[in-house]
Amino acid sequence: PTTVAFDVRPGGVVHSFSHNVGPGDKYTCMFTYASQGGTNEQWQMSLGTSEDHQHFTCTIWRPQGKSYLYFTQFKAEVRGAEIEYAMAYSKAAFERESDVPLKTEEFEVTKTAVAHRPGAFKAELSKLVIVAKASRTEL
């Protein structure tokens, strides 16, 4: 897998970070968010493809475990593929701590995105995981 680091910047402004993977960069994973409080946090996006390039994974997380930022919104999108599995976590595994998933009502998953659910999301986010399969539309 390819892992790239990026800064999650607070200030309430919407920011995006994306990266491509696969033959001819056919898959894209894009993380869009707005957050408040604290200072910049270094996060990572890790992308990998299966040997036959029919599946790809995108993991977005804070390596130190828990983020101390207050997320007002988030969305992780895939292009070139459809989501088969997605999960969002309020806390990422770190040392002896394990991942803590968000409650199912806090986020929603569509064919191409995992996003916060307005009104239900409790503003804590530390990790997102997506497993997607190549879209059938390619000829």
Reported as a single tens digit per residue, the pLDDT across 7-39 is 999 999 999 999 999 889 999 999 999 999 989
43, 95 contact by CB (below 8 A): no
Q: What are the domain boundaries of the chain? A: 2-134
Q: Looking at residue 137, what is its pLDDT?
A: 58
pLDDT above 90: residue 124: yes
What stretches of 5-63 show up as alpha helix (H) in DSSP? none
pLDDT above 80: residue 136: no
Q: Distance of CA 112 to CAs 65, 97, 100, 126, Å?
A: 26, 30, 23, 20
Tokens describing residue 64 = 């130190």
113, 69 contact by CB (below 8 A): no
pLDDT tens column, 64-89 = 999 999 999 999 999 999 999 999 99
pLDDT above 60: residue 139: no
pLDDT tens column, 37-66 = 989 999 999 999 999 999 999 999 999 999
Q: Looking at residue 135, what is its pLDDT?
A: 86
pLDDT tens column, 83-117 = 999 999 999 998 898 999 999 999 999 999 999 99
